[in-house]
Structure 1
Amino acid sequence: MVRALLAGSKTQTRRVLRAKAGMTIADATVDAGPACGGIGRRLELPVDKLKFPYAVGDRLYVREAWKTSSQHDSFAPRDLLGTAPVYFTADDRLWPVAKYRQAMHMPRWASRLTLIVTQVLVQRLQEISEADAIAEGCRPIGSEFLIPGQYFYSDASKSRTALSATSAYESLWNGLNEPRGFGWDTNPWVVAVSFTVEHCNIDESSIPKSQETEKAPKAHAGPSVAHITRSIT
């Protein structure tokens, strides 16, 4: 994901749409479109019973695998100062030997990419178009399309490309979500999020801080007028 963001080849992401506790999502009966800013989908649940992870205007700081200098190896991320050097493993450089740190542990100050959410749609997973799949990072390579992430796999038995962008995305999706019970064939409801990418820390973003609320709620009931900040991995 990070390499695609850096290359400018990823401007969409999809997350499984979830209902609040005790609810089930299914087709029909309730038109959630107007309440969702014109999404125009028909769901069994009213929109206020759904969990929307993002809304238009949200600012997301990207967490990625990283290192700092070896003299900081004994420090937990929360104890590191904002002046500590940061090395990003996605850059594929010969960084100094130091402790590898997972993306989930990257502090806000260390992030170098900021996403600005521009559109939030609800759809079935398999409604993704070729253009959408390319926007998900499944870029063309010759006459085929890259399966993001698999280009760097050491397992030669894994395909690196597919004949279409949607087929490439199907492989990507299954690798991430099939073990959780949301494989491509289950065709789950998803939230399709479009965004722009700013190559800067979230606190250096062009969006004025006066237009955001610093504390992010756990979920949205559709697009809101408040802009929030949170992380994405």
Structure 2
Amino acid sequence: MKARPILFNGAMVRAILADNKTVTRRAIKHQPDVPVTDAIARRECPHGPATANWYWRPKHGHLNGMPSHGWDFQCPYGQVGDRLWVRETFMDLLGTGVEHRPDPSGPLQRYAYATECPPGSYADEARKDMGLKWKPSIHMPRAACRLELEIVAVRVERLQVISRADIRAEGLVCPPELASDDVSPNYRDWYPAAFRELWESTGGDWVGNPWVWVVEFRRVLPEAMAATVAA
């Protein structure tokens, strides 16, 4: 089992904590030059269609000095059974004097998380008064991780084939005033529009309809916390 870091924004962290988000889509770094089905038809793809473990990309030129018709890529986020530890916007409270004990008999809580201190909240205003600043998620150390995900499935597909059920699994919840009628145009249209907005908000290209890794997961107890509980 391998563990790799993965970044999520605040909204997606909240969705994971609420058990609403059980899958993430990430654009494949090297997009195929031609449709995989066309490559198979021309017998240029020795391994068949894209699978959970890899996808094939035609390559023109040489790889490591040797002629090659293509590259194989494995999912950079891991395979079934591997784990992802979530990096989120955080703060190290060590030495600030505001460490606290969520459990009176438990250890001091050293880290704070921006998802629990929304802008304008009492906690966020207190943070400002004390001159404390959030640290970007990319700088979060493994010790500060509170969310760990076990991969249960991996596949490759085009971004725009996503269904409403898939979008719900991505953590998006339709507003109650629209969700009351499953067949209304507003309800049907909300999901693809909301997911497109989410995808593009992180710099993704919706119109280009890229190939994406689809990584399904379940939330598990982080290893560091599990060790503490066992002790």
TM-score by length of 2: 0.63
Aligned length: 175
Q: Indicate the residue corresponding to 1:171 in structure 2.
A: 197
Q: Indicate the residue corresponding to 1:29 in structure 2.
A: 39
Q: Residues 37, 168 of structure 1: CA spacing in aligned structure 2 closer, same or farther, 3 A cutoff?
A: closer
Aligned: 1:67 with 2:94: no
- Alpha-carbon distance in 2 for matches of 1:204, 1:48: 39
Q: Secondary structure at the match of 2:134?
A: coil
Deviation at 1:104, TM superposition (A): 1.0
From 57, 67, 86, give the equivalent of 2:111. Answer: 86
Deviation at 1:37, TM superposition (A): 5.2
State percent identity of aligned pairs.
Answer: 31
- Alpha-carbon displacement from aligned partner over 1:168-194 (angstroms, at most 9, x marks no partner): 11111111124xxxx111000111110
Deviation at 1:204, TM superposition (A): 4.1
Q: CA RMSD in A?
A: 3.5
* Contact 2:53 2:74 (C-alpha < 8 Å) held by counterparts: no
- Alpha-carbon distance in 1 for matches of 2:26, 2:84: 14
Letter of the 2:207 counterpart? D
Letter of the 1:50 counterpart? F
Deviation at 1:65, TM superposition (A): 0.9
- Alpha-carbon distance in 1 for matches of 2:25, 2:56: 19
- Alpha-carbon displacement from aligned partner over 1:5-31 (angstroms, at most 9, x marks no partner): 1111111101111339xx746332236
* Contact 1:68 1:84 (C-alpha < 8 Å) held by counterparts: no
From 189, 195, 200, give the equivalent of 2:217. Answer: 195
TM-score by length of 1: 0.62
- Alpha-carbon distance in 2 for matches of 1:172, 1:189: 17
Letter of the 1:202 counterpart? E
Q: Residues 24, 176 of structure 1: CA spacing in aligned structure 2 closer, same or farther, 3 A cutoff?
A: same
Q: Indicate the residue corresponding to 1:102 in structure 2.
A: 136
Q: Secondary structure at the match of 1:49?
A: strand
- Alpha-carbon displacement from aligned partner over 1:68-104 (angstroms, at most 9, x marks no partner): 227369xxxxxxxx97711111112616532321111
Q: Residues 109, 9 of structure 1: CA spacing in aligned structure 2 closer, same or farther, 3 A cutoff?
A: same
